[in-house]
Amino acid sequence: MAVVTAFLEHSRPRPRTTRLTILARDPSVLDPATGHMLRAVVDVPASRLDLGPRGPRFYVIDFDASEESLHDPLDLAPNPEPAPGWGYHDAFAGRPDADLLTNPGFRAQNVYAIAARTLATFEAALGRPVPWAFPNSQLNLVPAAFAEANAYYSREDQALYFGYFKAPRNELVRTSLAHDIVAHETTHAILDGLRRRFDVPGMPDQAGFHEGFADVVALLSILAVPESIGALVGRPSDGSLSSDELTIEALRGSVLFTIGRQFGDAVHETRGGGLRRSIEITPTNEWLRPHNREWQEPHRRGEIFAAMVMQAFLGVWTARLAPILGPAVDRGRVVEEGARAARHLLEMCIRAIDYCPPIDFDYADFLAALLASDKEVSPDDPHQYRQAVIDAFGAFGLRASALKSVRIKLKEWPSYRSFSYAALRSDPDEAFRFVWENVGLLSVDQRFYLNIENVRPSVRVGPRGFVVAETVVDYVQELILSAAEFNAICASEAPAIKAPSSIPSGTQLKLWGGGTIIFDEFGALKYQHAKPLADWRRQAARLAYLVDRGWWDTKGRIGFSYGDSLGERFVALHASGDNPDETW
């Protein structure tokens, strides 16, 4: 039987977004005006939805492994109009707090809406669809996965799991109801899809980046919701604020900057406060010392990243408020400027990912990538976001002057005569040929295996509607050799450098290198950010770090994996904090 579809009539217009109720933070944060749980109504990209909800990118499955029970799926689109699957209904608008806490449908809606919004933010900032790291379009969301104080992303299961647990005061804490935890875990999945080599054992910044970046996305996503940031800046009944409530210090002290607040409060009842108070880290250079063990631990390292970005956020926000400061500052304006600054900074951070090297990068590389990518979409930067970022990273010892120049210096022009512009925008073989023919210009070492991992066309839109079309290509190189062979290469190419003496000479090592290339709207090369494989000083430093952390794999090798099965890596990272309670 043939299926024939004809488009003779225009179908009824379908919505592009729908508005859904979520918890603005988590059940412990109350609306100061009403005393009820603080909620937000947010725009979520519309698509045809089945029961679950189950859409093109997410599938909510409310299966509880501890209870071995499957809850009824939520029907988010029960209305037949404008078309089956498109007739959305926000069933939880205006419902009492108790309903939100106990109805399984609400936790399904909360995880779905926050995950879909997080993905939409990435796709809007990058100007293209973002794939998962596994061969499937739908990521499973399991809102009451198990009776444990944990939540994690599993690549193998293609899922985000959200646990629940009894707090010491006996109330039930659900990680699926915490905006920051849902956004944090979704970011792990997105980042894994964008840059799957970020998960390779690398230098300490790379290990910390997954955690720090997920925290940054969670914090800025919450701050970008006006209801959330509104609860931070004072009493809603009072229409104005005083200038001394709006200093960096006053705003920094806010409880809003505590990520995982309810989770932390419940787990650390005696200590109080949240898990990661990144924003309260005093700017310091201590973390840059290679032998300072505290800051070598991935979570602590991640906190530094979050601290630098949140410092930049406070800088931008207060700068935006400066012109309106006075005895009575309009509260609505304060909220609006803060939400806008959060949204903008979040997009800057996301866009920077495309300009980062795919492997072996550090926070200085991220800063360089952020500044270069932002210049493309916001050349004039009227609110001085870039300066705020430079200042914040600088306060932690990363200075713009220390950055390598990453822009291509055109000592020779690449030849495009034999290249197809269309193929360069989509075809890994064509991109490989481009690299092959320009190894000198790109400083690619031909001795090592090279693979083009991604070719991604994107259309970025800057804050003032400035449109930039680009193609992002990333390549990696890898080399497997013994420690003795590593030392032999170093002896001939970099005599002062050796593998750490604690590595036996027969040990197998895996080394990485790679780079990111950006082509402009005409298919011409405009940017490269590379981490050459033959940088033996970096390779030796990486080996020393991996040995110091004890990251040998199960076969006694170094640099291949963290020693766990790949898909459960995020469980391990979440469990590896020096604080045993800190498991998400």
Residues engaged in binding Zn ion (CB under 5 A):
211, 214
560 burial class (0-12, 13-18, 19+ CB within 10 angstroms)?
middle
Q: How far is the CB of 184 from Zn ion (least distance, A)?
A: 6
Residue closer to Zn ion by CB (options 145, 214) is: 214
Q: How far is the CB of 215 from Zn ion (least distance, A)?
A: 8
Residue closer to Zn ion by CB (options 344, 569) is: 569
Distance between CA atoms of residues 200 and 451, nearest Å: 16
Q: Which residues are bridge partners to 555 per DSSP?
A: none
Distance between CA atoms of residues 188 and 178, nearest Å: 16
CA atoms within 13 A on the CB side of 542: 28
| CA of residue 190 relative to chain centroid, distance | 7
Residue closer to Zn ion by CB (options 471, 583) is: 583
Residue closer to Zn ion by CB (options 214, 511) is: 214
Q: How far is the CB of 576 from Zn ion (least distance, A)?
A: 11
Distance between CA atoms of residues 354 and 505, nearest Å: 37
Q: How far is the CB of 214 from Zn ion (least distance, A)?
A: 5
Spatial CA neighbour of 333 closest among 342, 321, 319? 321
Residues 6 or more apart whose Cβ sits within 8 Å of residue 35? none
Q: How far is the CB of 403 from Zn ion (least distance, A)?
A: 28
Residue closer to Zn ion by CB (options 199, 211) is: 211
Residue closer to Zn ion by CB (options 207, 444) is: 207
What is residue 229's three-state secondary structure?
helix
Residue closer to Zn ion by CB (options 259, 472) is: 259
Spatial CA neighbour of 177 closest among 114, 131, 264, 240? 114
Residue closer to Zn ion by CB (options 92, 213) is: 213
Q: Are 453 and 492 in contact (CB under 8 A)?
A: no
State both tokens at 134: 């596994």
Q: DSSP string of 322-339?
A: GGG-SSSEEHHHHHHHHH
Residues 6 or more apart whose Cβ sits within 8 Å of residue 304? 208, 212, 278, 281, 287, 295, 363, 396
Q: Spell out the alpha helix ranges (H) of 224-330.
A: 226-232, 248-252, 261-267, 298-321
Distance between CA atoms of residues 437 and 440, nearest Å: 8
Q: Are 508 and 485 in contact (CB under 8 A)?
A: no
Where b means 16+ CB within 10 Å and e means fewer, 420-432 reads eeebbbeeeebbb
Spatial CA neighbour of 372 closest among 394, 383, 357? 357
Q: How far is the CB of 298 from Zn ion (least distance, A)?
A: 10
State both tokens at 402: 């220390």
Q: How far is the CB of 39 from Zn ion (least distance, A)?
A: 25
Residue closer to Zn ion by CB (options 302, 514) is: 302
Residue with tokens 């979040």: 346
Q: How far is the CB of 211 from Zn ion (least distance, A)?
A: 5
Q: How far is the CB of 299 from Zn ion (least distance, A)?
A: 8
Residue closer to Zn ion by CB (options 189, 558) is: 189
Residue closer to Zn ion by CB (options 31, 148) is: 148
Residue closer to Zn ion by CB (options 153, 552) is: 153
Q: Which residues are bridge partners to 162 per DSSP?
A: 151
Residue closer to Zn ion by CB (options 164, 552) is: 164
Whole-number Cα distances in Å, 160 to 11, 76, 110, 339, 401: 35, 20, 13, 27, 40
Q: Would you say how long the chain is, in residues?
A: 584
Spatial CA neighbour of 210 closest among 191, 197, 193? 191
Distance between CA atoms of residues 246 and 327, nearest Å: 11
Distance between CA atoms of residues 357 and 255, nearest Å: 35
Q: Are 40 and 230 in contact (CB under 8 A)?
A: no
